[in-house]
Structure 1
Amino acid sequence: MLTFILRRLAFTVLTMLVVSLLVFLLLELNPGSVAVKVLGPYSTEEQRQIWMAAHGYLQPLWQRYAIWLQHMVTGDFGDSIRFKVPVAEILWPRLWNTAILAFWTFAILVPLSLILGVLSGMREGSPLDRAISIASIITTSIPEFASAVFLAAIFVFWLGVLPGTSAMSGGFDWAQLVLPVMVLVLYDIGYVTRMTRASMAEVMTAPYIRTAFLKGIPFHRVILRHGLRNALIPPFTVIMLQINWLLSGVVVVEFFFAYKGFGALLLEASLNQDIYLIQACAMVAVLVAVTTQTLADIGYTYLNPRIRLQ
């Protein structure tokens, strides 16, 4: 088990190195292009040469990459072109805001989708199964921007019980989190529910489940002790994948509700060609992606004893 964990950690580090090299080559290979983005299109060639010399862009490529990688590891991402402050001063607060949004989304999404999926898979083909399946398909097929408009029309303009924006300009406000969390939960709950339902339905037809029933073991014990643990293996992987989506895939929701999160920051950095901010966002997003996948693989071994024994 320890060997497996060390192997996964080594793979994570290697993945980060490969991605960092790709990000560096894509965004920093041409020093002149970087100088234009930083100084602006109306800067002179002399000004660009002076800037490149002052910031080490005339050094060999491998030296520039080594210095750039060192700065990335230590959290020195440079200064934002758009905000005129160090990137770290903007990145970490925005990342924390998205973490808050993701936490409450998961706190509602995970237990609700697992319960619905298990109930649906336990009684495959029943009226409850069909109702949950239809609701899951409907919610998954509606994109975030459509559900955001629909929910805002109901709770903001019709009922008037929730604020229409979540900018938190007057400080943290729980009411401003309700609509963004609701939109994210509605969009993702159908997908996780369907995965859980399919896994539970497959487990319910397994020979060991039928044997447990034939032995006279109560229904709830068969489900809780034998069926549920095996049924949670595929949904666990899917749920871990949703962390990546909640980090950088919530651009639409954050932009619609003016929520100052990581996704909106990435969009703003791209629109303004803020190269250092784009680099920092890309590396953080990849770090979260490979970390969550490593945790998913490790957690998978605990849920599936056959992998752990191998």
Structure 2
Amino acid sequence: MLAFALRRLGQLLVTAIISSFLLFVVTEFSPGTVSRQILGPYALPNQVELLDQKLGLSQPLPRRYLNWLSVLVGLKANPLGDPALGLDLTDSRGDRYFGNFGYSLMFKQPVRDVLAEPLANSALLGAVAMAFIIPLSLFIGIVAGANAGTRLDRLLSFGCLIVTSIPEYAAGVILLTIFVSYFSWLPGTSPLLASEQWSVASQLVLPVAVLTLASAGYVARIVRASMADTMTKPYVRTALLKGLTKRQIVMRHVIRNGMIPPMTVLLLQLNWLVGGVVVCESIFAYPGVGRLLLQAGLFGDLALVQTITLMSLAMAAVTQLLADISYMALNPRVRLT
């Protein structure tokens, strides 16, 4: 297990370097430059060129990537924080430290300070959503898969298919129309600020409902397919011939083996919930990472976009590693190589 973990960590490091370079290339060739954002749309070309030289933006692409990577790991100071530039960008942690993601030009603050609160808010939303997604999807998938081909299976599968086919923005609009406009039972926005009328818990209901509807149906279908396939295995028929009830077989044998394929899907939902809830957070004005990513993209805040994207990539890599390890926990016959 230790050798596997170390080998996978080495692979993750190589993947992180390649992914960060590709991300840097994509953002570097996006419209606009850091110098143009700082100086404004009416700055003269020679002014922009002069600031590019001071920031090292006129160097070749590989050199710019190495400079960016050096700032990220703490080998170099971020040039935007140079007092000689007069940008008034300061970092309380100093000029050099590991995890220096630079400065957000939209907020005029270090990226780490900007991300602290939205990241905590998205983690809260994701944790509450997963608390509903996991048991709901597992229950529906297990029940449908254990009764494959029956009327109950067709009913549950049809319901999951309908829920999965509804886009997040459409589900948000439908829920807003029903529970906000028609019944006035819930708030239409989720700023996470308690008031006399709406508590923070009530503000989480609709965003959590949208995320649950968007994810639970898909995961349930994966679980159902795996359970239905496991129910056809020879050891299930052997257990039936030995006199075990269907409930005993499902609870003791089928669930453990049937959960191996859906485990990756379940863990990857964490990555989606942390970095891919742009639509949901934008609909309900939720102050999370997804909404912040949309704002940064519209503004052209490259440092903020790069950081949030890197976080999503890192989350995907970690969840994949956890999925591989969970295979062995669920089925000791699986060998991790």
Task: Identify whether the pair has TM-score above 0.5, normalized to the shorter chain.
Answer: yes
- What TM-score do the two structures reach when normalised by structure 2? 0.85
Alpha-carbon distance change, 211 to 90 in structure 1, aligned in 2, over 3 angstroms: same
- Amino acid in the other structure paired with 1:237: T
Does 2:254 match 1:227?
yes
- Any idea what the Cα deviations from partners look like across 1:190-214, whole Å, max 9, x if unmatched? 1111111111111111100111111
- Any idea what the Cα deviations from partners look like across 1:251-270, whole Å, max 9, x if unmatched? 11110000011111111111
- Amino acid in the other structure paired with 1:25: V
Q: How many residues in Structure 1 have an aligned counterpart in Structure 2?
A: 310
Give the 5 Å matches for 1:203-282.
Answer: 203-282=230-309
CA distance in 2, matches of 1:208, 1:117: 21
Q: Which structure is richer in relative contact order (CA contacts within 8 A, separation 6 or more)?
A: 1
Partner in structure 2 of residue 302 of structure 1: 329
Partner in structure 2 of residue 146 of structure 1: 170
- Amino acid in the other structure paired with 1:152: L
Alpha-carbon offset, residue 235 of structure 1: 1.4
Measured on the aligned residues, the alpha-carbon RMSD in Å equals: 2.2
Gaps of 5+ in 1: none
Does 2:14 match 1:14?
yes
Alpha-carbon offset, residue 55 of structure 1: 2.8
Give the 5 Å matches for 1:58-73.
Answer: 61-73=61-73
Alpha-carbon offset, residue 19 of structure 1: 1.0
- Identity rate, percent: 47
CA distance in 2, matches of 1:170, 1:104: 18
Tell me which of 222, 232, 235 is aligned to 1:195. 222
Gaps of 5+ in 2: 74-97
More helix by percentage: 1
Partner in structure 2 of residue 43 of structure 1: 43
Tell me which of 110, 125, 130 is aligned to 1:101. 125
- The answer (yes or no) to whether the contact 2:186–2:203 under 8 Å persists in 1 is yes
Alpha-carbon offset, residue 57 of structure 1: 3.4
Alpha-carbon offset, residue 49 of structure 1: 3.9
- The answer (yes or no) to whether the contact 2:4–2:336 under 8 Å persists in 1 is no
Alpha-carbon offset, residue 42 of structure 1: 1.8
- The answer (yes or no) to whether the contact 1:35–1:52 under 8 Å persists in 2 is yes
Alpha-carbon offset, residue 297 of structure 1: 1.6
- Any idea what the Cα deviations from partners look like across 1:134-183, whole Å, max 9, x if unmatched? 11011011111111111111111222111000012458711100000001
- What TM-score do the two structures reach when normalised by structure 1? 0.92
SS, match of residue 234 in structure 1: helix
Partner in structure 1 of residue 34 of structure 2: 34
